[in-house]
Amino acid sequence: MKINGNTIRPGNVIDHQGRLWVAVKIQHTQPGKGGAYLQVELKDIRNGTKLNERFRSSENVERVRLEEKPFQFLYAEEDMITFMDVKTYDQINLPKSAIGEGVIFLQDEMQVLINCYEGEPISVQLPPTVSLIIQETEPVMKGQTAAASYKPAILENGLNIQVPPFVESGDEIIVDTRNLEYIKKI
């Protein structure tokens, strides 16, 4: 579907220069001379490379619709991850690079969404939050308030994050998979 160049929004997937790109950031710019344009930061869906591109309102771009299918994580082996379609029970193998850094959040039987373009799996969307157990953190300091500071913690998956002072080793917490931040203690 063709859309006007200045109607691109973050999250839109477009076909540009023969490749699929997702719009990450946009900025409307009105220079003193010449017409307005939209400065768009694009990320290649397949290999993760980034590109900054200008689109004028007179330009048309091809917006791509991806099909989202629910899958369940089964197991990881070397550089490949196996998922199962929750409706048809078909299994697919994807390279770990399809998930990127989020691969550390995969847990047994986790439900994910796989984006497909013309039947080909392109990317994997993890749930926005996951529950993890704190493996190691510093003990609580007497007199330290919760708002004062955060302390480092190592999670069961090996991730290092900052947590409030009242969180202790062995506690279960909720972590945001998009920005790798502590949300709350369970």
User: Are the C-beta atoms of 115 and 121 separated by less than 8 Å?
Assistant: yes
pLDDT tens digit sequence for 81-98: 999 999 999 999 988 877
Contact present, 87 and 111 (Cβ < 8 Å): no
Q: Is 89 left (phi over 0), alpha (psi -120 to 50) or beta?
A: left
User: pLDDT band for position 149 (50/70/90)?
Assistant: confident
Read off the pTM: 0.71
pLDDT tens track for 25-57: 899 888 888 888 889 999 888 777 899 999 988
**What number is the average pLDDT over the span 147-154?**
81
Share of the chain above pLDDT 70, in %: 95
DSSP helix/strand/coil, 101 = helix
At 39, is the secondary structure helix, strand, or coil? Answer: strand
pLDDT band per the 50, 70, 90 thresholds, residue 146? low
Mean pLDDT of the chain, nearest integer:
87
Q: Is the pLDDT of residue 147 over 60?
A: no
pLDDT at 89: 93
Tens of pLDDT, residue by residue over 15-33, are 998 889 988 889 988 888 8
Q: Nearest CA to 114 among 73, 61, 162?
A: 73
Q: How far is CA 166 from the centre of its chain?
A: 28
Q: Is the pLDDT of residue 144 over 60?
A: no
pLDDT for 99-142, tens place per residue? 777 888 999 999 999 988 888 888 888 999 999 999 999 886 66
CB 111 within 8 A of CB 97: no
- Paired tokens of 30: 């009105």
Burial of 120 (0-12, 13-18, 19+ CB in 10 A): exposed
